[in-house]
Amino acid sequence: MTEYSDRFIKVADGFSRRVEAVPATAWDNPTPCEGWVARDVVRHLVEWVPGFFTGTAGLTFPTIPSADVDPVGAWSTLRAALEHQLADEPVATREIDAPMGRMSIEAAIDMIVTGDVLVHTWDLARATGLDETLDPIEVARMLEGIEPMDEVLRGSGHYGRRVAVPDDADTQTKLIAFVGRNPADPGR
């Protein structure tokens, strides 16, 4: 295990707890992501992650169940595949040319997947009435890493406009607002 795999597992554990706790009737609840319902959060992850890492790194992924039919199975399958890649040292440490520069596969997973899963944990929890509390260490780490890239991230279209929050807001509120979610909007 490396710090990258440890971090992914910790964040994925939090997302898994929410995915597994979503009531069957809540999968179609709207999320803070405009136009998305809860199952779309899972769909987003299970579609872009394999697509990116198949194309960029040549990784292979098992057939992932449809998020429409089995969102829990879809996420579980993706998570298991990523953990398998991270546990395979020759694969995890192989260098790739990613849009963010040359890096190992495990560093790419850490840089773009772990943070996406972290933020979408909040989205899913907000949509379905589950615990919205994120790991405070990972929240602080992510916010510290992305704040200096504000212009680049906004220009990429990956984040909405930053939502204004009080200067004394807690770190999670600042992160959620930074990525374009309104922490004051009750959702659902």
Q: Domain tally for the chain?
A: 1
16: CATH = 1.20.120.450
Question: What's the pTM value of the predicted model, to 2 decimals?
Answer: 0.95
pLDDT attached to residue 127: 97
- Checking if the pLDDT of 1 tops 80, the result is no
Q: Is 175 exposed, middle or buried (0-12, 13-18, 19+ CB in 10 A)?
A: buried
Q: Is residue 153 part of a domain?
A: no
Parent domain of 89? 3-133
Q: pLDDT per residue over 97-144, tens digit each?
A: 988 889 999 999 999 999 999 999 999 999 999 999 999 999 999 999
Establish if 115 belongs to a structural domain. yes
Is residue 188 predicted with pLDDT exceeding 80? no
Assess if residue 23 is contained within a domain.
yes
Tell me the average pLDDT of the chain.
94
pLDDT score, position 51:
96
Q: What is the model's pLDDT at position 53?
A: 96
Which pLDDT belongs to residue 187?
A: 65
d(CA 24, CA 39): 10
Give every CB contact of residue 90 below 8 A, 6+ residues apart in sequence: none
Neighbours of 103 (CB within 10 A): 15
The answer to whether residue 12 sits within a structural domain is yes
78 part of a folded domain: yes
**Residues 15-41: what's their mean pLDDT?**
97
Asked if the structure places residue 32 within a domain, the reply is yes
pLDDT digits (tens, 9 = 90+) for 54-74: 999 999 999 999 999 999 999
Asked whether residue 18 is assigned to any structural domain, the reply reads yes
The per-residue pLDDT for range 153-170, each reduced to its tens digit, is: 877 777 888 999 999 999
Any domain includes 147? no
Tell me the H-state helices in 22-95. Answer: 38-57, 71-87, 89-92
